[in-house]
């Protein structure tokens, strides 16, 4: 069976690493990199560290406004799909690369399988929310990380083709956790080994594109009394420079780091401050308290368990929460235990058989 997988942004490389490894044991995969992320430390480093096969096609679409970027991806992906005639188009998460992959395939009548389906923030101002909703409604197979995601789809009338498989990022972390401890030298490089610190990441449009929210977040980091390590996403780097921000001495702005270094930094952090989806989950899995710099989250189970607190972009609330966080006694298993990629592969094979047998034309509804 031939599968065209479409990826393009940092978290998709991490998700695809584990699924690709499982897929290629039985099937032929054509890996398409849209080129949405392209800096070496936003793209190539993940392929190298996680043994992801080199992309068969790189569309080199690059950055741009949503319509322009997504449109260029659509045209490029369509060409690949017409050439390859895959049994499935496999898309991940909620980026513009996800949207373009799902839309290009659906228009050609190629069934779409969506990994990380059913997530909702119920905030349509987020570009990711638009991408997810459209991708889910175009998908034949919907791989959900949580029961909440399954329920969200049911509320939109999508019940067919929905599978609760767990989160492929849990598989990725299981693969990387021990490797990171063994191989990553980041703590020594930063001279922080054995010291307490906070780890921060910020990249959501709602925070970077709003100088007032970004100013509040940076003000909070400056007001914290512990060292803060802050690997800065290129989008955020631009926004920070535009603000003319000069960090307080305990705040260290770093370039984006590779996955193994990131996992190592997460493992040793006293607490994590982030607006990233993936980082919220990794904090939970690693047992590190998380303060989420957003007003809502898709990963509600981490909040319900008491390990994640939503603080928005209010400087005093951020500082107060970092100072008063009480670690819960329990950390229930959420989003599976590292078997999601194998389940994705199993369903791709089984459901292809049923499509070939004519029992299904579309999984939605």
Question: Is position 72 an interface residue for ligand UDP (rule: CB under 6 A)?
Answer: no
Number of amino acids touching ligand UD1 (CB under 6 A)? 18
9/319 with CB nearer ligand UD1: 9
> In this chain, which of 8, 277, 289, 363 binds ligand UDP, going by CB under 6 A?
277
Nearest distance from C-beta of residue 216 to ligand UDP, angstroms: 19
Asked if residue 293 lies in contact with residue 309, where contact means CB atoms within 8 angstroms, the answer is no
Question: Is position 134 an interface residue for ligand UD1 (rule: CB under 6 A)?
Answer: no
Question: Is position 114 an interface residue for ligand UDP (rule: CB under 6 A)?
Answer: no
Residue tagged active-site, from 137, 163, 203, 233:
203
203 is catalytic: yes
Question: Is position 127 an interface residue for ligand UD1 (rule: CB under 6 A)?
Answer: yes
Question: Is position 234 an interface residue for ligand UD1 (rule: CB under 6 A)?
Answer: yes
Distance CA 69, CA 55 (A): 19
Q: Two tokens at 24?
A: 């290629």
Binding mask 223-242 for ligand UDP (x = CB under 6 A): --------x-----------
Nearest distance from C-beta of residue 203 to ligand UD1, angstroms: 5
CA 320 to chain CA mean position, Å: 28
Which listed option, ligand UD1, ligand UDP, none, makes contact with residue 235 (CB within 5 to 8 Å by class)? ligand UD1
Nearest distance from C-beta of residue 144 to ligand UD1, angstroms: 18
Q: Rounded to the nearest 5°, which phi and psi values hold at 232?
A: -100, 120
> In this chain, which of 5, 20, 34, 95 binds ligand UD1, going by CB under 6 A?
95
Question: Is position 256 an interface residue for ligand UDP (rule: CB under 6 A)?
Answer: yes
Question: Is position 10 an interface residue for ligand UDP (rule: CB under 6 A)?
Answer: yes
Which listed option, ligand UD1, ligand UDP, none, makes contact with residue 36 (CB within 5 to 8 Å by class)? ligand UD1
> In this chain, which of 4, 10, 80, 340 binds ligand UD1, going by CB under 6 A?
10
84/94 with CB nearer ligand UD1: 94
Nearest distance from C-beta of residue 61 to ligand UDP, angstroms: 17
Could you tell me which residues come within 8 angstroms of residue 44 by beta carbon, excluding any fewer than 6 positions away? none
List active site positions: 203
Task: Name the residues that contact ligand UD1, by CB under 6 A.
Answer: 9-11, 36-39, 42, 63, 94-96, 127-128, 203, 234-235, 238
Task: Name the residues that contact ligand UDP, by CB under 6 A.
Answer: 10-11, 14, 201, 203, 231, 256-259, 262, 276-279, 282
């Amino acid at each position: 069976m031939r599968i065209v997988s479409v990826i393009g942004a940092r978290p998709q490389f991490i998700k695809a690493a584990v699924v690709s490894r499982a897929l290629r044991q039985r099937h032929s995969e054509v890996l398409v990199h849209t080129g949405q992320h392209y800096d070496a430390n936003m793209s190539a480093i993940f392929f190298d560290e996680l043994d992801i096969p080199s992309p068969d096609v790189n569309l080199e679409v690059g950055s741009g406004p949503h319509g322009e970027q997504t449109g260029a991806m659509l045209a490029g992906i369509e060409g690949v799909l017409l050439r390859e005639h895959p049994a499935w188009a496999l898309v991940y998460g909620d980026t513009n690369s996800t949207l373009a992959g799902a839309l290009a395939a659906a228009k050609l009548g190629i069934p779409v399988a969506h990994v990380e389906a059913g997530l909702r923030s119920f905030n349509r101002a987020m570009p990711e929310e638009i991408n997810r909703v459209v991708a889910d409604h175009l998908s034949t197979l919907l791989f959900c990380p949580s029961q909440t995601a399954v329920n969200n789809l049911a509320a939109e009338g999508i019940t067919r083709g929905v599978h609760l498989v767990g989160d492929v990022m849990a598989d990725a972390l299981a693969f990387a956790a021990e490797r990171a401890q063994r191989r990553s030298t980041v703590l020594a490089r930063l001279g922080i080994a054995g010291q307490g610190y906070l780890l921060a990441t910020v990249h959501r449009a709602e925070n970077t594109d709003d100088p007032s929210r970004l100013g509040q977040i940076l003000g909070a980091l400056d007001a914290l009394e512990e060292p803060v390590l802050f690997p800065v996403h290129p989008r955020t780097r631009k926004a920070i420079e535009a603000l003319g921000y000069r960090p307080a001495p305990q705040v260290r702005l770093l370039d984006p780091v590779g996955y193994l270094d990131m996992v190592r930094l997460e493992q040793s952090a006293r607490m994590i401050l982030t607006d990233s989806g993936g980082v919220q989950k990794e904090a939970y899995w690693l047992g590190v308290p998380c303060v989420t710099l957003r007003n809502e989250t898709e990963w509600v189970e981490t909040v319900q368990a008491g390990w994640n607190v939503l603080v928005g972009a209010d400087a005093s609330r951020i500082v107060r929460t970092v100072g008063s966080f009480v670690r819960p006694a329990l950390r229930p298993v959420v989003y599976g235990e590292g078997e999601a990629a194998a389940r994705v592969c199993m369903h791709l094979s089984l459901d292809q058989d049923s499509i070939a047998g004519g029992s299904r034309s579309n999984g939605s509804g």
